[in-house]
A and B are shown apart, each in its own frame.
Chain A
Amino acid sequence: MEYLIDFRNVSFTYGSATENPVHALKEINLRIKEGEFIAVIGPNGSGKSTLARHFNGLLTPTSGEVLVHGLSTTNSNQEKQLIEIRKRVGMVFQNPDNQLVSSIVEEDVAFGPENLGIPQAEIRRRVNHALATLNIFKYRRESICHLSEGQKQLVAIAGVLAMKPDCIVLDEPTALLDPFGRKQVLESLKKLNRDEGIAIIFITHFMSEAVYFDRVAVMDCGEIKMDGPPGDIFSQSSLIKEVGLDIPVAAQLADELIQRGFPVAPGILHVEELVSNLCQLKSKI
Chain B
Amino acid sequence: MPIEVENLNHTYKEGTPFARQALFDINLKIDDGEFVGLIGPSQSGKSTLGQYFNALYIPKSGRVLIDGRDTADRNTDLVQIRFDVGYVFQNPEHQLFKTTVGEDIAFGPTCQRCSPEEIRKRVREAMALVGLDYDTFFKRDIFALSGGQKRRAAIAGVLACQPKVLILDGITAGLDPRGRKEILNVVKNLHQEGKMTVILISHSMDDVARLVERIIIMDQGRIIDDGPTREVLTKIGQLQQIGLEPPQVIEVMQRLRENGFTVTTGVLNIHEAISEIVKMLNMPGRE
Indicate if the CB atoms of B41 and A180 lie closer than 8 Å. Answer: yes
B42 within 8 A of A: yes
Residue pair B42, A149 in contact (C-beta under 8 Å): yes
Count of residues in A whose CB is under 8 Å from the partner chain? 41
A 235-272 binary contact with B (CB < 8 Å = 1; else 0):
00000000011101110110011001010000000011
Determine which of A177, A252, A275 lies in contact with B42 in the assembled complex, contact meaning CB atoms within 8 Å: A177
User: Taking A249-B252, A278-B256 as contacts, is the C-beta distance between A43 and B277 under 8 angstroms?
Assistant: no
Does B179 sit at the interface, judged by CB under 8 A? Answer: yes
In the bound complex, residues from chain A placing their C-beta under 8 Å from that of B90 are: 176
Question: Among the listed stretches B57-65, B74-82, B115-123, B242-250, which one makes contact with chain A, having 4 or more residues with CB under 8 Å of it?
Answer: B242-250
Among candidates B41, B146, B249, B273, residue contacting A45 with C-beta atoms closer than 8 Å: B146
Q: Would you call A272 and B255 a contact (CB within 8 A)?
A: yes
- Complex alpha-carbon distance, A279 and B261, angstroms: 9
In the complex the two chains form, is A44's CB within 8 Å of B148's CB?
yes
Q: Are B278 and A260 closer than 8 Å at their CB atoms?
A: yes
Establish whether residues B174 and A207, one from each chain, have CB atoms under 8 Å apart when the complex forms: no
A285 vs B248: C-alpha distance when bound (angstroms): 26
The smallest C-beta distance from B208 to any residue of chain A, in angstroms, reads: 13
- B25 interface hit (Cβ, 8 Å): no
On whether the beta carbons of A148 and B42 are closer than 8 Å, the reply is yes
Say yes or no: B176 contacts A44, CB within 8 Å.
yes
Count of A-B contacts judged by CB separation below 8 Å = 103
Chain B residues, Cβ within 8 Å of A94 = 174
B277 touching A172 by the CB < 8 A rule? Answer: no
Taking CB atoms, residues of chain B closer than 8 Å to A282 are 261, 280-281, 286
Within the assembled complex, what's the spacing in Å between the Cα atoms of A283 and B147? 48
Interface string of B5-42 (1 = CB under 8 A from A): 00000000000000000000000000000000000011
Whether B177 sits at the interface, judged by CB under 8 Å, is yes
Does A178 reach chain B (CB closer than 8 Å)? Answer: yes
Are A205 and B174 closer than 8 Å at their CB atoms? Answer: yes
Q: Does A274 contact B (CB under 8 A)?
A: yes
Chain B residues whose C-beta falls within 8 Å of the C-beta of A150 in the assembled complex: 42
Q: In the bound complex, do residue A253 and residue B175 qualify as a contact, i.e. CB atoms below 8 Å apart?
A: no
B251 proximal to A (CB < 8 A) = yes
A179 close to B (CB within 8 Å): yes
Tell me if A75 is interfacial: C-beta within 8 Å of chain B: no
Partner of B286, one of A42, A180, A256, A283: A283
Q: Closest approach, in angstroms, between the C-beta of A182 and any C-beta of chain B?
A: 9
Tell me whether B270 is interfacial, beta carbon within 8 Å.
yes
Decide if A102 is an interface residue (CB 8 Å cutoff). no
Interface residue tally for chain B (C-beta within 8 Å): 37
Whether B175 and A205, one on each chain, are in contact in the complex, defined by CB atoms closer than 8 angstroms, is: yes
Contact of A148 among B43, B173, B273, B281 (CB under 8 A): B43
CA distance A205 to B176 in the complex (A): 5
Q: Which residues of A contact B179 (CB under 8 A)?
A: 43-44, 244
Bitwise interface map of A from 128 to 149 toward B, beta carbon under 8 Å scored 1, else 0: 0000000000000000000011
CB nearest neighbor in B for A282: B286
Residues of chain B lying within 8 A (CB to CB) of residue A257: 274, 277-278, 281
For residue B136, CB closer than 8 A to chain A, the reply is no
Contacts of B203 in A (CB 8 A): 178-179
For the complex, give the distance between the alpha carbons of A52 and B243 in Å.
Answer: 30
List residues of chain A with CB within 8 A of the CB of B255. Answer: 271-272, 275
B113: interface (CB < 8 Å): no
* B259-279 contact mask (Cβ, 8 Å, vs A): 1 or 0: 101000000001001100110
Collect the chain A residues with CB atoms within 8 Å of residue B261's CB.
Answer: 278, 282
Interface string of B186-208 (1 = CB under 8 A from A): 00000000000000000111000
The residue that B270 contacts in the complex, of A177, A244, A253, A262, with Cβ under 8 A, is A253
* Contact between chains at A278 and B244 (CB < 8 Å): no
In the complex where A177-B42, A282-B281, A283-B286 touch, is A271 in contact with B177 (Cβ < 8 A)?
A: no
Chain B residues, Cβ within 8 Å of A149:
42
Q: Mark B161-178, 1 if CB is under 8 A from A, else 0.
A: 000000000000111111
Given known pairs A149-B42, A178-B244, A275-B256, the reply for A249 and B249 (CB within 8 Å) is yes
Residue ID in chain A nearest B40 by CB atoms: A178
For residue A85, give the distance in angstroms from its CB to the closest CB of chain B.
28
Residues in A whose Cβ lies below 8 Å from that of B270: 249, 252-253, 256
Q: Could you tell me if A275 and B174 are in contact, using CB atoms closer than 8 angstroms?
A: no
CB <8 Å contact, B286 and A253: no
Q: 4 closest pairs, A vs B, by CB?
A: A180-B243, A244-B178, A249-B248, A246-B177
Task: Contacts A178-B203, A253-B273, A285-B281 known; list 17 others, CB within 8 Å.
Answer: A43-B177, A43-B178, A43-B179, A45-B146, A178-B41, A178-B244, A181-B42, A205-B174, A205-B176, A248-B248, A249-B252, A250-B252, A257-B277, A271-B251, A275-B259, A278-B281, A282-B286
Query: Which residues in A have some Cβ–Cβ distance to B below 8 Å?
Result: 42-45, 94, 148-150, 172, 175-181, 205, 207-208, 244-246, 248-250, 252-253, 256-257, 260, 262, 271-272, 274-275, 278-279, 281-283, 285
> Please, could you name 11 A-B residue pairs with CB atoms under 8 Å apart, sorted by A?
A149-B42, A150-B42, A177-B42, A178-B203, A178-B243, A179-B204, A179-B244, A180-B41, A244-B177, A260-B278, A278-B281
